[in-house]
A and B are shown apart, each in its own frame.
Chain A
Amino acid sequence: GAVVSQHPSWVICKSGTSVKIECRSLDFQATTMFWYRQFPKQSLMLMATSNEGSKATYEQGVEKDKFLINHASLTLSTLTVTSAHPEDSSFYICSARRQGGTPLHFGNGTRLTVT
């Protein structure tokens, strides 16, 4: 069964609004979660690493003020896309890692469409 739950699975929002995506590890504590983005017919690109209780680490080129990440507990990380624009439309996927393990489990992803 799914060990990482991501919500919502799809969302449509208007340009300029903010959208929050949740990623939960269901049966383990995840000190680290990862957020990826995937454009159509392209591979997954790591956006940021979310560490419980500390600031997220962003990949080069990813705007930290636009993609706010909060990892408030060992089972929950959230990604907020602020002031969304149509170019932010994409498939966002989270991955959670058990302590000391290689990330193996992905959420089902969130399809974001900004109109």
Chain B
Amino acid sequence: EDKVVQSPLSLVVHEGDTVTLNCSYEVTNFRSLLWYKQEKKAPTFLFMLTSSGIEKKSGRLSSILDKKELSSILNITATQTGDSAIYLCAVPYSGGGADGLTFGKGTHLIIQP
């Protein structure tokens, strides 16, 4: 059974701090790893990672995959209150005839002013 584990489950920091969110996975057939940000409604896509060691960057957010360690990190620098959200990590899977995403439980990030 595919598994995605995120840590920490919750994190409270002050504005301006840098945070690192972790995601580890166990899947039968790895294809990619995805990061999403979920505020009040549906998740919005951040990154899709397929290759180990190649950093993807978007503004203050960056992410990298380590296939040897079966893990990924999401970094946010110079955090702002608008970064407060749940950050979800997911991997596509195929199992039992279904083909969707397995999500981790998410990291609930709170940025205090």
Binding stretch for chain A, among B55-63, B64-72, B74-82, B94-102 = B94-102
Is A109 within 8 A of B98, CB to CB? no
Chain A interface size band reads 20 to 34
> Do most interface residues of chain A lie in helix, strand or loop, or is the interface mixed?
strand
Is A59 within 8 A of B98, CB to CB? yes
Is A43 within 8 A of B31, CB to CB? no
Neighbouring B residues of A58 by C-beta, 8 Å: 98
Contact residues of A between 27 and 53, Cβ < 8 Å to B: 32, 34, 36, 41-46, 48-49
Is A93 within 8 A of B92, CB to CB? no
Chain B interface size band reads 20 to 34
B34 contacts partner chain A, Cβ-Cβ < 8 Å: yes
Neighbouring B residues of A48 by C-beta, 8 Å: 98
Neighbouring B residues of A108 by C-beta, 8 Å: 41-42
Whole-angstrom distance between the Cβ of A38 and the nearest chain B Cβ: 9
Q: How far is the CA of A41 from the CA of B105 in the complex (A)?
A: 8
Is B105 within 8 A of A42, CB to CB? yes
Within the complex, which residue of B43, B98, B105, B106 is in contact with A46, where a contact is CB–CB below 8 Å? B98
From known contacts A43-B88, A102-B31, A104-B34, infer whether A95 and B101 are also in contact, taking CB-CB under 8 Å. Answer: yes
Neighbouring A residues of B97 by C-beta, 8 Å: 49, 57
Q: How far is the CA of A49 from the CA of B43 in the complex (A)?
A: 18
From known contacts A103-B92, A104-B34, infer whether A46 and B45 are also in contact, taking CB-CB under 8 Å. Answer: no
Within the complex, which residue of B32, B98, B108 is in contact with A49, where a contact is CB–CB below 8 Å? B98
Neighbouring A residues of B99 by C-beta, 8 Å: 32, 49
Over the window 1-30 of chain A, the binary record of Cβ atoms lying under 8 Å from chain B Cβ atoms (1 yes, 0 no) is: 000001001000000000000000000000
**3 smallest beta-carbon distances between A and B, as pairs:** A106-B42, A46-B100, A43-B103
